[in-house]
C-alpha cells in the first residue's frame, strides 16, 4: 500500500546512524507544529538526532518553496515518522574467549510538510 501525498512537500533522511527510539523521542516534540516553530525547537535541543531532523525539515521546506510554490510561513509538519534501517552487527571480545555482539542501529526519517 502506497501513501498518496500529492500537494505535500516531502524529505527523507536515510541511513541515519541513530536508534529509531531516540529519533522518535525528538519527532514527538515537533509533530503538528508550524515549520518555523519546529526549527526553533530543534535548534536548542542538545541531541545529535535533532541536528539531522533539522536538516531534513529544512530540505522539506526547500522542496515546498521551489517545487510546490508554497509559503513556508503557512506550512506545518503534517507527518513526521521514523522507520528502522539496517542494523550493523559488530563483535567485541569478552572474558574466557567468548564474543559479545554489538548492534549499531540506523533509521530512515521522513518529514512531510503541508498547509
Buried b (16+ CB within 10 A) or exposed e, 33-66: eebeebbebbeeeeeebbebbbbbbbbbbebbee
Cell of 99: 564474543
pLDDT digits (tens, 9 = 90+) for 21-63: 999 999 999 999 999 999 999 999 999 999 999 999 999 999 9
pLDDT over 90 at 87, yes or no: yes
Kind of pairing, strands 9-16 and 76-84?
Answer: unpaired
Q: Where are the domains of the chain?
A: 16-114
φ, ψ dihedrals at 24, nearest 5°: -65, -30
| Among 32, 33, 34, CA closest to 74 | 34
CATH class, range 16-114? alpha beta
Amino acid at each position: 500500500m502506497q501513501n498518496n501525498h500529492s500537494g505535500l512537500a516531502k524529505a527523507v533522511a536515510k541511513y541515519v546512524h541513530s536508534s529509531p527510539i531516540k529519533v522518535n523521542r525528538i519527532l514527538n516534540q515537533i509533530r503538528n507544529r508550524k515549520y518555523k516553530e519546529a526549527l526553533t525547537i530543534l535548534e536548542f535541543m542538545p541531541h545529535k538526532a535533532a541536528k539531522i531532523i533539522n536538516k531534513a525539515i529544512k530540505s522539506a521546506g526547500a522542496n515546498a518553496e521551489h517545487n510546490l510554490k508554497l509559503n513556508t510561513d503557512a506550512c506545518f509538519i503534517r507527518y513526521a515518522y521514523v522507520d528502522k534501517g539496517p542494523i550493523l552487527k559488530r563483535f567485541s571480545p569478552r572474558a574466557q574467549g567468548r564474543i559479545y555482539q554489538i548492534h549499531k542501529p540506523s533509521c530512515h526519517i521522513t518529514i512531510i510538510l503541508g498547509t
